[in-house]
Chain A
Amino acid sequence: GAVVSQHPSRVICKSGTSVKIECRSLDFQATTMFWYRQFPKQSLMLMATSNEGSKATYEQGVEKDKFLINHASLTLSTLTVTSAHPEDSSFYICSVGKLDNYGYTFGSGTRLTVV
């Protein structure tokens, strides 16, 4: 099945700095990837759809200038949290646009803590 690698698994950064999270599709050429965010004790919410070679599409209420998405190749999408603030602390998880019998379409997630 599709294998997705997400890096880093955990990151702590200072308020005001930027953090880049990588999502790699290891065995599938993903024209589409998705980014989700999970706040503590809440469910996962879709943030944006990452489209290879074109602009990402953002869900309502998600600031595109704050959460920069780049999908320059069929195997890599990056999410950059710019000028991070403590309220951006969350669990970010990516998914490739492929459903298969194994269902391993999600990355393992990145726990971001902004201090």
Chain B
Amino acid sequence: AQSVTQLDSHVSVSEGTPVLLRCNYSSSYSPSLFWYVQHPNKGLQLLLKYTSAATLVKGINGFEAEFKKSETSFHLTKPSAHMSDAAEYFCVVSGDFNKFYFGSGTKLNVKP
């Protein structure tokens, strides 16, 4: 069975400072992992995905995530937050037949 735990429901950072959004997963086999972003009243946009290639994955808008099998983690990072990064972020693991299992989400607030 697959599941995802996002450790923080809210994260607040100042503009220009680093962002860390934490995600731990559980999977009965080698998983595919994703980070999606959802801006208010908008759909989902893929930031990046891990599919058993390089463990450090670079995505759009300066985001990256590192797959650590020993820690069953897939934390999302960005060196310098921008005001436009304020949104809700979902860590997702794919299961059988391309079903997606979403974490509970982390709301990122960026202060000026």
Contact = CB atoms under 8 A, between A and B. Distances in A.
A109 B43 contact: yes
Contacts of B97: 32, 49, 97
Contacts of A32: 97-98
B34 interface: yes
B43 A99 contact: no
Contact of B104 (A42, A46, A104): A42
Most buried by A among B41, B42, B44, B46: B44
B27 to A, nearest CB: 16
Contact of B100 (A95, A107, A109): A95
Interface in A88-104: 93, 95, 97-99, 102-104
Interface in A72-115: 93, 95, 97-99, 102-104, 106-109, 111
Given A103-B46, A104-B46, A107-B43, A43 B99 contact: no
16 contacts: A32-B97, A34-B99, A42-B104, A43-B104, A44-B44, A44-B100, A46-B99, A46-B100, A93-B43, A93-B44, A99-B51, A99-B94, A106-B36, A107-B43, A108-B43, A109-B43
Interface string A18-48: 0000000000000010101000001111100
Q: Report the contact-size class of chain B (Cβ under 8 Å from the partner).
A: 20 to 34
A106 B102 contact: no
Interface residues of A, number: 23
Contacts of B102: 36, 43-45
Given A44-B90, A93-B43, A103 B34 contact: yes
A103 B49 contact: yes
A93 B90 CA distance: 14
> Top 3 closest A-B pairs, CB basis?
A103-B46, A108-B43, A106-B44
B32 interface: yes
